[in-house]
Structure 1
Amino acid sequence: MPFAPGSAIPAPGGAPAAVPAVPVPGAAVPGSALPTPGGVPSVPSAAAPGTAVPAPGGVPSVPSAAAPGTAVPAPGGVPSVPSAAAPGTAVPAPGGVPSVPSAAVPGSALPTPGSIPAPGAGATPVTPGAVPTPAIQATPAAPGATAATAARPASEAELKPARSENLKKQFTLRYNLMKPLTRKQWYGTLGLIFLAAVVVAAVAVVAAKLFLSTDMAQNFITEYPGKYDNPEGAPAGIPGWLAWQHFLNMFFLVLIIRTGIQINQTRRPKGYWTSKRGGKKISLTLWLHLSLDLLWVLNGVLFYILLFSTGQWMRIVPTSWEFLPNALSSGLQYLSLDWPTENGWVNYNSLQELVYFITVFIAAPLAILSGLRMSAYWPKDNKVLNKIFPIGVARAVHFPVMIYYIVFVILHVFLVFATGALRNLNHMYGGQDATNWTGFWVFVASLFVIGAGLAAARPVIVAPIAKLFGNVTAR
């Protein structure tokens, strides 16, 4: 029958063998057991954890809760191996000889041959009153790490790899968003835009027809037919210089859009240009794009001068708040496919006036300023200008402006042919208010010139011209 540590282990024949008492935490305090008549000690009224409760007849029973690390004696007086030995305690071998501790406490001396306690010797005495601290299982630390190292926050050197990886991911994402589009991606994007435009236009046509079938819409159209009278002194007709300006603007605009798309698509330019004064090396396509921009700006300056000196500005600049309801009326009539009656030779309708004003006085300056901001001619060391007009804003403006011009050209050409092609072409190219084929053939000739310009926008033809203004290299 098992006995508590420190109790007398009965030897064969009933003689108790003296075993050194080993104080165990929670053992009964001497004097706590009061002897009853007959010499049999009574059971303590409040036994501490780990104390042996004597059984009837003076034989102590097994402790109800053995202290951690104590050896539970096996039958026959030989103590068994503790079920959960405390770190550093000696595990008794058969015969009472304690073996070498399986996990020695750092700094403790291992028993050497000759120093093994004699059979029957108890465990190492514990200082009376000392209460062993229970072992708390912690997360395994790295070899050589201390408690302070495990508890301290990560250092800057340890966080640097994680930050570098995060920055790398952000850079990869931005590069994928801003890298040039391939030709297939361009066609796919334009195809989606065209498909979306067709769907939106179909829905708008149905909605406009349904709205114009109401009495409220008809009263609105009657009050605001789609245009208002020009101010006094506004000229009538389209002069010859305006017809030439129209052609040149169309020529430069088409080539500028084409070279802009090429710049976005090109990953390895076939040639580079550098100014004779030195500076940043740019691709031949970018040089052509900037050169066309410069010619377009010069033509635009001449256009502004003639526009305001001849009074033609009154035809494309709103001069009355009536243009707002009239522009809405014109838009509803266009959407319903019931084209508004007009005479562009004398007066544009309010929607035309609004679109021409946006194209000439808003879209054009935005395209010029944003393009200049992204070019090498911008004073990049000027902190005030850079703060007023950040390059991120310029990039966010330049591309949408190009899309606006593409949509404008498509809709403009479509409406020219859909609302009286011969008369409209005579206004723009023939310089006359008549219905004949003069303006049409001039328009066809202008298309051939624009096509020739697109065909000539190649490095083989551009390089000799670029050499006149700088150095051209293959790399």
Structure 2
Amino acid sequence: MSASGAAPARRRLLHLLWIVPAAAVAAVLVVVAAQAIRDSDAGHAFLTAFPGTSALPDWTPVGFPAWLAWQHGLTAFLLLFIVRSGWSIRYAGRPDTFWVRRNDGRIRTAGQPVRIGLQVWFHLALDALLILNGAIFYVLLFVTGQWVRVIPVHWDAVPNAVSALLQYASLHWPADDGWTNYNALQLISYGVVIFVLAPAAILTGIRLTPGFTVRLRPLDRVFPIRVARRIHVAVMVLFLAFIVVHVFLVLATGALRNLNHVYAVRDDASWAGAIVFAATVAVMVAAWFVLRPAVLRALAGTTGTIRRR
């Protein structure tokens, strides 16, 4: 690494060294403050009035269908490599391998295909799969009635979400049964991820896609590239924060039962879900090492021409 490249790396490392202890201190202060509020008369009255769960309609489906478990696992797999390729695009510097679409066959365009970096191709290919998977997910979510578990139907979901947040922050987990009804904070959080963050990632990603930047040039005044890039990165950070908190709470609030819900489609404390979860993690780890530049070049070569700088 050159001296000019080493300086920014050192600065990022110093920032991390400050962020970790600062985050630890902030976490301790949040827990202390939450416990103080919880133990106060006003806090006790609030938690009594709003225990943390909003009632669902009588027709709400019970449990998780098999398609939801498959969607959950596939989405986790795709997100892992979308984040990895996105991080590489942002920090790996100028690429030395490029992909160019073949402008032949039945599908042809008037303009010349745009040359894009190999990691950009990988990122966009994963995005396409995630969008297809998401479209199927949206359809099934509304057709089966599962949408009612991620979209609030009563206004009391808001104060109940605050109540659940206060209980989590005070290290007293809210009483809930994810098999039948998420607590209100989960309800709103999942809804925001599905219906706000995911569309924001797609729309800003399209705005940043090579080739579209020229065609969408009229948007430069109202939606500049730099704004789209900042939003795209911010959405990635929010996704990562959600994933970290989500995985931590799944493991901390009854790991076996929670893993059975989303990986084995059953409501008990057996090891079935944990075994499936471990298998999916093993697949992710294996894919992480398999999907190296040589393999990506081979995959990209099936859909276009590979060129070196």
Partner of 1:210: 36
2:271 aligned residue (421, 431, 437): 437
Q: Number of residues paired by the alignment? A: 298
1:238 aligned residue (61, 64, 69): 64
Q: Which has the higher helix share?
A: 2
Partner of 2:88: 262
2:293 aligned residue (456, 459, 462): 459
Q: How does 1:66-145 map to 2 (within 5 A)?
A: none
Query: Residue 99 of structure 2: SS of its match in structure 1?
Result: strand
1:374 aligned residue (174, 185, 208): 208
CA 1:250 to 1:191, structure 2 compared with 1: closer, same or farther past 3 Å? farther
Aligned: 1:393 with 2:224:
no
1:365 aligned residue (199, 202, 207): 199
Query: Residue 380 of structure 1: SS of its match in structure 2?
Result: helix
- Please say if residues 272 and 473 of structure 1, whose CA atoms lie closer than 8 Å, have aligned partners that are also in contact: yes
1:335-385: per-residue Cα shift (whole Å, max 9, x none)? Answer: 110111110000000000111011101000111111110112426244544
Deviation at 1:431, TM superposition (A): 0.2
Instruction: Please give the TM-score of this superposition, normalised by the length of structure 2.
Output: 0.91
Distance in 2 between the 1:256 and 1:401 partners?
A: 12
Query: Residue 100 of structure 2: SS of its match in structure 1?
Result: strand
1:157-215: per-residue Cα shift (whole Å, max 9, x none)? Answer: xxxxxxxxxxxxxxxxxxx9xx9996666555555544433222111000011111111
CA 1:186 to 1:465, structure 2 compared with 1: closer, same or farther past 3 Å? farther
The amino acid of 1:302's aligned partner reads I
Distance in 2 between the 1:379 and 1:262 partners?
A: 20
Query: Residue 51 of structure 2: SS of its match in structure 1?
Result: coil
1:198 aligned residue (18, 24, 46): 24
Distance in 2 between the 1:326 and 1:399 partners?
A: 30
Query: Residue 238 of structure 1: SS of its match in structure 2?
Result: coil
Query: Residue 221 of structure 1: SS of its match in structure 2?
Result: helix
The amino acid of 2:135's aligned partner reads V
Query: Residue 429 of structure 1: SS of its match in structure 2?
Result: helix
- Please say if residues 164 and 174 of structure 2, whose CA atoms lie closer than 8 Å, have aligned partners that are also in contact: yes
- Please say if residues 207 and 216 of structure 2, whose CA atoms lie closer than 8 Å, have aligned partners that are also in contact: no
Aligned: 1:318 with 2:152:
yes
Q: How does 1:45-56 map to 2 (within 5 A)?
A: none
Distance in 2 between the 1:428 and 1:375 partners?
A: 33
CA 1:367 to 1:429, structure 2 compared with 1: closer, same or farther past 3 Å? same
2:249 aligned residue (399, 415, 425): 415
Structure 2: give runs of 5+ residues left out of the alignment: 104-111
1:120-159: per-residue Cα shift (whole Å, max 9, x none)? Answer: xxxxxxxxxxxxxxxxxxxxxxxxxxxxxxxxxxxxxxxx
Distance in 1 between the 2:6 and 2:152 partners?
A: 39
- Please say if residues 116 and 210 of structure 2, whose CA atoms lie closer than 8 Å, have aligned partners that are also in contact: no
Deviation at 1:241, TM superposition (A): 0.4
Query: Residue 320 of structure 1: SS of its match in structure 2?
Result: coil
Query: Residue 228 of structure 1: SS of its match in structure 2?
Result: coil
1:204-236: per-residue Cα shift (whole Å, max 9, x none)? Answer: 000011111111111111110001111232111
Distance in 2 between the 1:256 and 1:302 partners?
A: 19
Aligned: 1:229 with 2:55:
yes
User: Which has the higher relative contact order, 1 or 2, with Cα contacts under 8 A spaced 6 or more apart?
Assistant: 2
CA 1:232 to 1:378, structure 2 compared with 1: closer, same or farther past 3 Å? farther
Distance in 1 between the 2:91 and 2:246 partners?
A: 27
Aligned: 1:352 with 2:186:
yes
Distance in 2 between the 1:311 and 1:199 partners?
A: 43
Aligned: 1:285 with 2:130:
no
Partner of 1:220: 46
Query: Residue 233 of structure 1: SS of its match in structure 2?
Result: coil
Partner of 1:337: 171
1:252 aligned residue (71, 78, 102): 78
The amino acid of 2:260's aligned partner reads N
1:68-96: per-residue Cα shift (whole Å, max 9, x none)? Answer: xxxxxxxxxxxxxxxxxxxxxxxxxxxxx
- Please say if residues 114 and 211 of structure 2, whose CA atoms lie closer than 8 Å, have aligned partners that are also in contact: no
Deviation at 1:473, TM superposition (A): 1.6
Q: Which of these two proteins has the greater Rg computed from alpha carbons?
A: 1
- Could you say what the CA RMSD is over the residues aligned between the two structures, in angstroms? 2.1
CA 1:308 to 1:342, structure 2 compared with 1: closer, same or farther past 3 Å? same
